[in-house]
Structures are given as C-alpha cells and as structure tokens.
C-alpha cells in the first residue's frame, strides 16, 4: 500500500471537511481547523510508524533467513549472501557493515580456501541483527 497516497487523500478530505464545517460554524472556525490539522498529523504519524515497523520486520525476516541458510550453502556463498544483506542495510547497520567488509578483506587477501572462521563471524553479526529487531 502506498502510504503517501493514503496520507494525501486523508489530508485532503480533512482539509475540505474542516473548511466547509468552518463556514457553517462561524464562531468556532479556528477550532475546526485545529482539529483537522491534528487529525492529519495523527494519521501521518500512524502511517510513518507503520511503515517503519514493516521495514524493521522485513529486515528481521531477511536476517533470520540468512542465518538459517548457513547450513545449506558453502561458506563462500554464505559470506557473499551476508555481505549483500549488510550492504543493502548499511544505512541502518553501518558498524556491522564495516566489520563485515573487514572480514571480507581477510577472505580476499588469504590464499586459503577454508572460510569457516570468517563465515562464523559473519553468522554472529547476522544473528545479532536478527535478535536485535525482535
């Protein structure tokens, strides 16, 4: 659902109702306008809060899916999957993304093909994000 469109429609309806109600009730015109603006603000805040909650739940679902995928793919695949997730959410988890990039630089600089330690470290970061949002 497009929340900005919903907010625009609710705001327009409240403004029109407030304007016409104020014309019929001359002595309480400003009171009606204040009520309309309060309703508009409250609906906007509700829409914003709902979208933030949905975004956080979506990040938690993604982190849980990646965390559970640890045993179903190779270490290299898991590292790339975790890095992609953290890069996608680097605005929210910049420190975790920075640590993951350090782990990735260790993986890329080593000639060893066994990445279990680095994958375990990344799994810990992903687990932290998944449990932080619960």
pTM for the predicted model, two decimal places: 0.63
**26 has a pLDDT exceeding 70:** no
Copy the structure tokens of residue 47. 């829409």
pLDDT at 114: 59
Burial 23-36 (b: 16+ CB within 10 A, else e): eeeeeeeeebbeeb
Percent of the chain with pLDDT over 90: 0
Query: Which of the two residues, 6 and 48, has the higher pLDDT score?
Result: 48
pLDDT tens column, 81-122: 888 888 888 888 888 888 888 877 777 776 555 567 777 888
For residue 73, give the DSSP letter. Answer: S
Where in the chain are the domains? 3-132
pLDDT at 22: 55
- Which residue, among 35, 50, 37, 39, has the nearest Cα to 3 in the 3D structure? 50
């Amino acid at each position: 659902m497009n929340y900005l469109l919903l907010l625009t429609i609710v705001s327009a309806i409240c403004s029109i109702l407030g304007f016409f109600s104020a014309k019929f009730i001359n002595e309480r015109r400003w009171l009606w306008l204040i009520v309309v603006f309060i309703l508009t603000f409250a609906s906007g805040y509700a829409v914003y809060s709902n979208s933030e909650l949905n975004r956080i739940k979506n990040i938690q679902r993604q982190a849980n899916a990646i965390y559970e995928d640890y045993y179903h793919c190779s270490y290299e695949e898991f590292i790339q999957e975790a890095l992609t997730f953290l890069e996608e959410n680097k605005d929210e988890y910049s420190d975790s993304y920075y640590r993951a990039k350090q782990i990735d630089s260790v993986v890329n600089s080593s000639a060893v093909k066994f990445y279990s330690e680095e994958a375990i470290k990344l799994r810990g970061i992903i687990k932290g994000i998944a449990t932080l949002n619960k």
